[in-house]
Structure 1
Amino acid sequence: MSTLAAQGYRLPAEWEAHAATWLTFPHNPLTWPGKLAAVQQAYARMVAALAPSEPVHILVQDAAHATQVQQWLAEAGAQGDIHLHSLPTNEAWIRDNGAIFVCHPQPAANQPRRLALQWQFNAWGNKYPHPHDHAIPPYMAQTHGVPVVPGGMVLEGGSIEVNGNGVLLTTEACLLHPNRNPHLSRAQIEQRLRDMLGVELILWLGAGIEGDDTDGHVDDLTRFVSTTTIVTAVEDDPNDVNYAALQENLRRLQAMTDQDGKPFRIIRLPMPPAIVHEGIRLPASYANFYIANRVVLLPTYRHPATDEQARQIVQACFPERTVIGVDSTDIVWGRGSFHCLTQQVPA
């Protein structure tokens, strides 16, 4: 059987048109110990910023949870095409446990235009219980009338970043970690990504940032903002725990070339000052933004100087969109932010 790539399917870049965004409303106190109520309010503000841009589908636990969510959304002023779906889940990080949709630009009469890839989700190396989360990708696919295709290995959406033009960025720390696909070699993992996502060139960064319990997802580090331009988080303080890893990733990026052999344009994104809660350094990063149809959701961290610096840098990358900073200080206690909490359905 020919691969999805051979059939003409590809993973679009995030800035390409969306039909919708999927979310899972936070409900698990184990994800945000002692902060769940604050997180739910912050999350509702994120939805309020996103909803005018495109249809939003939100997974909730049950009817009682739906009633609460509607109240939080109303208090946050959320308006738009918002749909609540009752489906029990464990983790709210739908970037990682949700479907990843690939598209065909010109499907034949008997070909679906979109396919929903269901990768194996093992909660970042079996760190947390996740008995319900396997049901998320087929539910998303069914809602949009899209066939489901098994991905064939453990993979999270936050661990890959594509430019929509044949290039995929990932990290060695995550994709090569023995708690993901110990039976697969680096070459086999690369081939599976090519076959399923329609990419040609796999580019490898090194390690992630401190406090990231995903073992180093690329969406906390480095993001494509066009086919030829990359923004990457850089720590300028040599005494900071993230300095060495981020400098090494910058060095690698500067040596990389695209599918045509041309160097990328690299834009540096600052890191916020260290955020520590209960003695734990959290993986706060401005790189974890989400690109929607009309807005970009940028996590901010109650540090006005770097928050505004990051907003201006990202805004310059997306002149056709409005970059909206939304406070993610409580949300990042769960070890992620807005990109981890969203999953787009391509138009």
Structure 2
Amino acid sequence: MWRMPSETAQHTRTWMAFPREGFTLGSDESEREAGYAAWTAVAHAILPFEPVSMVVDPTEIARARRMLDSSIEIVEAPLDEFWMRDIGPTFVVDDERPGTLGAVDWIFNGWGAPAWAEWTKSAHIARVVGEHVGAEIISSTLVAEGGGLQVDGAGTVLLTDTVQLDPRRNPFADRFRVEAEMNRTIGSSQAIWLSRGLTRDYDEFGTNGHVDIVATFASPDRVLLHAQRDPAHPDAEVSALLRGELERAFETLGRSVEITDLPAPSTLRDDVGFVDWSYVNHLVVNGGVIACGFGEVEADAQARAILSDAYPGRTVVTVDARELFARGGGIHCITQQQPAVPLVA
């Protein structure tokens, strides 16, 4: 039976996708250069902890080789979007077949096929990556993205109604059907449904409520929750709502789970509207945590301290994520871990 390991389990590598010119990267040279630099900075922050493989569109090969450390594996494949968490495979293992790696190939339609999105090339990347590493491809009929689910590695998955049941994604789905597919593909036995995500995520260019920006499992008995504490921001109400939903869900399951706040930075708005800056959108790597930074010394330090406590024994490294969030996501959104495969049952 397939099982998606916790992000804290040992990794073989982290997968990313290099930006390419287009709507997401930016409309002028300055914006484009900032985007390339942001993706590159995350890749280089991961390297001291584990290998990085980068999918690169043929039009960007020369730039990628120039900007990226030579130790980063480059896999050439056509791209139009480059949020690897969403376009790439969700890796799983089979505890009954030691040495077996699986790659779930969700259907990707650009977060609900909005008019602005270009996604038909990237819809094939999960299979490209899975075949590259010799994984068994697990085809799914569910429209889903890796950023729309979080697991504890022990059978529990966090989901949001507004993503999994989005009529632009899965018009005929209900919770029962989604849970059955999660059980088949990633081995979840319990689903905790949250009603929504952060406010910014419902804008024209949002994902409609990805869970990986609001909550994540640090361990099976600890959840990290985005906490907006300024009542002037609409996510203050969202944070309170989600805390209540998590508390009730774990109580119903009879589980004692600590819910730890990860306070949002103090910045409330950018030139578009209310920000969705979140420290929850970090990546756990071998021996480390790659954390989002927002140029706020005190808030970034507080987040590092909380993450250090939540992931004992790991070094927390902060990377400025403002250019990522300006394009619609964070560090977790642009990465995908490939778990190490147990060789002994």
Structure-1-length-normalised TM-score: 0.91
Contact 1:290 1:296 (8 Å CA) reproduced: yes
Percent of aligned positions with the same letter in both sequences? 29
Q: How does 1:259-298 map to 2 (within 5 A)?
A: 261-274=254-267, 276-298=269-291
Q: How does 1:85-100 map to 2 (within 5 A)?
A: 85-100=75-90
Correspondence 1:103 to 2:98: no
Correspondence 1:160 to 2:149: yes
Correspondence 1:31 to 2:20: no
User: Which of 123, 139, 149 pairs up with 1:134?
Assistant: 123
Supply the AA of the counterpart residue of 2:4: L
Contact 2:106 2:142 (8 Å CA) reproduced: yes
What is the aligned-residue RMSD (CA, Å)? Answer: 1.7
User: Which of 312, 319, 322 pairs up with 1:319?
Assistant: 312
Supply the AA of the counterpart residue of 1:194: N
Supply the AA of the counterpart residue of 2:45: A
- 2:343 is matched with which residue? none
Query: For 1:201-241, what per-residue CA distance to the aligned partner results, in whole angstroms no more than 9, with x for missing partners?
Result: 10011211122200010000001001110000111112211
Contact 1:256 1:264 (8 Å CA) reproduced: no
Query: For 1:91-128, what per-residue CA distance to the aligned partner results, in whole angstroms no more than 9, with x for missing partners?
Result: 111101111111012317xxx71111101001100021
Gaps of 5+ in 1: 1-7
Supply the AA of the counterpart residue of 2:63: Q
Supply the AA of the counterpart residue of 1:43: W
- 1:194 is matched with which residue? 183
Deviates more, 1:34-43 or 1:212-221: 34-43
Contact 2:197 2:238 (8 Å CA) reproduced: yes
Q: How does 1:1-347 map to 2 (within 5 A)?
A: 8-34=1-27, 35-62=31-58, 65-73=60-68, 78=69, 81-107=71-97, 113-127=100-114, 128-212=117-201, 213-257=206-250, 261-274=254-267, 276-347=269-340
Q: What is the Cα deviation at residue 68 of structure 1?
A: 1.3
Q: What is the Cα deviation at residue 260 of structure 1?
A: 6.7
Gaps of 5+ in 2: 341-345
Contact 1:99 1:137 (8 Å CA) reproduced: yes
Deviates more, 1:91-100 or 1:183-192: 183-192
Mapped partners of 1:174, 1:340: distance in 2: 15
Paired residue secondary structure (2:200):
coil
Q: What is the Cα deviation at residue 256 of structure 1?
A: 2.6
Mapped partners of 1:258, 1:11: distance in 2: 24
Question: What is the count of residue pairs matched by the alignment?
Answer: 331
Change (3 A) 1:188 1:317: same
Structure-2-length-normalised TM-score: 0.91
Mapped partners of 2:272, 2:186: distance in 1: 39
Q: What is the Cα deviation at residue 275 of structure 1?
A: 5.5
